Amino acid sequence: MENEQLINPQRPLWRNLRTVAYILGTLFLFLFALDLMTSSLQHLGSNIAETILLATANPFNGLFIGLLITAMLQSSSTTTSLVVALVASGSITVQSSIPIIMGANVGTTITSAIVSLGFIHRKKEFRRAVAAGTYHCFFNLLTVVILFPLEYYYGMLSSMSIRIAQYFFVPTVAPVENEIEHFWSGFSPVIDWLLQIIPNGFITIIFSFVLLFGSILLFRKLISDLLRASSPEVFSRFFFKNQFKSFLWGLLTTAAIRSSTITTSVVVPIVAKRITTLKQAAPFIIGANIGTTITAFIAATLNSNTAGGITIAIAHFLFNFIGMLIFFPIPLLRKIPIELSSELGKLTLKYRLAGLVFLLATFFFIPFSLIYFNQDELRTLNVTYEAQQGGEKTYYRIIARTNVRTQNGEWERYNGDDTESNQEPDLIFPVAVKNNTLFAGKDMYRFTKPGFCWDGEDATGTYEACIDSIMPTMTVGNIRFDSVYVCRIQYRTTAGPASLHRVYLSAPFKIMLRREILSPDKQLTATEHVIRFSQQ
């Protein structure tokens, strides 16, 4: 048992090759399923992107969605892979996906908690089993308690992950309707053929989900069987010698199995039977928490349209890594999740239903309560613009969904002014407001005193922007707006004078009311202005 290896040289060569082929085959199936899901989401009609964005625009909704889906599937790997596919398809932005990732980290802990309830008839072991089974949950809950407010108010995780990802990729605006890009060109004929013969996009999404979930379960079974993960004695002998080795083994084993569900659940009977202590096993669980992030990196890095996906993978890693930095190196903080889970274990000796109540409160009652008390935090603006250039008029619409408290959210842009059609958005812009500065995709506008100037860059080029004045009121399209900032934008060129843009911005709603484009000789050449406006 001690010398059991993933690939055993004592076995016949054909058996080793067969093992390798099985593992590579499940990885191939995983990538194919993820590619099919991304392509299906991009082809799906009936404004699916708007529905998904509406469901996740409230961060508390996103947190609960990630928690509930992962709790039902008992696999955070599947949830994070789904999030990568949604971001890659443009159906959701990075900012909206971070709470889902946080919820998935909490939801994946339900399995070990349920495993601990299996010892309810063994009084001596039940207390230790509950403590071991809920330690992972308390660890991730405490991390959420610390990091979720920082993300909610300041966008800490999303901004950090975007900045890190920008060293490799550059995209902030996610086009929804674009050319389908595949993980590997060999997938494209099969996927295109499936999308042609199956007219309903929901069917292909369900089919791809079954393949995705099945490939993760199959890969998990292959690796865990080869590592003899079901033997507590093997785990104790090799994995819990000291804290650093325990942490490292938890990271490496979970990265290989691609499932913290198995590795953390195996710890429960080990602690319950006193083969090791919870204090010795805790670093292993923390390492497993980081090792499970490998799935998102695999899903993201092998995708040719990987900018958003790699950002999600980085955010997933940062969440778990920061949690480790808080609760692992510092002895005083390290005791907190251990003490909480141990106290819950003691409580279950007096009240056997305490463990069940904890599960129901953590995974259902508290999330539903947070959603209920924050259901009015979302504001939706519907704005239709008329653009005129050279006597030709065109129209486009912006649906802005933002959180009232943080003023962060998404803008969806639709070409045309048909509000009744079920068309999908052409672009989805992540939007954030920080320090009286509006960030919409690559555009940046400041709401500050007249005379203040700043430099910037967008798709048109580099520019200098200045606040010219602040208008108390302004009427645009028979609609009156208060507190309007007039921003002058002068683009820089090497060939001579460039066009001048004058933008009128509503401070209360953080939207553009009017844009004027002037030629170098100050002649008005193009305009865009609001013609319809409504608020929900």
Tell me the two tokens of residue 339. 């003490």
Domain count, the chain: 2
Distance from chain centroid for Cα 348:
35
Would you say 151 and 401 are in contact if contact means Cβ atoms under 8 Å apart?
no
**Per the structure block, which two tokens stand in for 224?**
């865990």
In a domain, 261, yes or no: yes
**Using CA atoms, how far apart are residues 377 and 351, in angstroms rounded to an integer?**
38
152 contacts 62 by C-beta, under 8 angstroms: no
Copy the structure tokens of residue 183. 């993980």
Phi first, then psi: what are they for 171, rounded to 5°? -150, 130
Provide block-wise average pLDDT over 10 residues at a time, the chain (536 residues): 43 55 70 68 50 63 81 71 72 80 87 76 82 91 93 84 74 40 55 73 74 65 52 61 84 76 76 84 90 77 61 89 91 91 87 81 77 70 89 88 74 76 69 79 83 82 89 89 92 71 91 88 86 86
- Whether residues 93 and 122 fall in one domain: yes
Residue 516 DSSP symbol: E
Q: Tell me the C-alpha distance between 130 and 53, whole Å.
A: 37
**Residue 241 within a domain:** yes
**12 is a domain residue:** no
Residues paired with 378 in a beta bridge: 403
Considering the domain boundaries, does residue 154 fall inside one?
A: yes
pLDDT for 487 equals: 93
Any domain includes 1: no
pLDDT score of 313: 84
Q: Is 357 in the same domain as 426?
A: no
Same domain, yes or no, for 357 and 418?
Answer: no
Residue 460 lies in a domain: yes
CA–CA dist 156, 472 (Å, integer)? 34
In this structure, are 165 and 285 located in the same domain? yes
**Which among 373, 402, 428 is the end of a domain?**
373
Structure-token pair, residue 44: 């799906």
* Sign (positive or negative) of CA dihedral 369, 372, 377, 383: positive
Whether 6 is covered by a domain: the verdict is no
Whether residue 181 is found in the same domain as residue 283: yes
Residue 18 belongs to some domain of the structure: no
Q: How far apart are the first and last CA of the chain?
A: 64
DSSP lists the bridge partners of residue 479 as 476
Residues 295 and 386 both lie in one domain = no
Same domain for 348 and 486? no
| DSSP structure class, residue 426 | S
CA 255 to chain centre: 19
Q: E strand or H helix at 468, and its extent?
A: strand 462-476
Q: Which domain holds residue 241?
A: 28-373
**What does DSSP assign to residue 431?**
E
Verify that 476 and 489 share a domain, yes or no: yes
Q: Of 64, 128, 124, 134, which Cα lies nearest the Cα of 357? A: 134
For residues 361 and 260, state if they share a domain.
Answer: yes
Q: What is the DSSP string of 442-456?
A: TEEEE---TT-EEEE
Quote the CA–CA distance of 40 and 34 in Å, as a whole number: 10
Q: Return the pLDDT at 422.
A: 59
Residue with token string 């990271």: 251
State both tokens at 453.
Answer: 């100037």
* Last residue within a domain, chosen from 373, 399, 433: 373
Structural tokens at position 168: 């490799």
The first and second tokens of residue 340, run together, are 């909480």
User: By three-state DSSP, how is residue 395 classified?
Assistant: strand
What pTM does this model have?
A: 0.67
* pLDDT for the residue 258: 66
Residue 350 sits in the same domain as residue 324: yes
Residue that finishes a domain, picked among 347, 373, 399: 373
Which CATH number does the domain housing residue 461 bear? 2.40.360.20
**Helices and strands counted in the chain (H then E):** 19, 13
Interacting residues of 529 by C-beta distance below 8 A, sequence separation 6+: 385, 386, 476, 477, 513, 514, 515
479 and 369 fall within a common domain:
no
- The DSSP string of 347-409 is HHHH-TTHHHHHHHIIIIIHHHHHHHHTTT-EEEEEEEEEEEETTEEEEEEEEEEEETTT--E
- Same-domain pairing of 428 and 461: yes
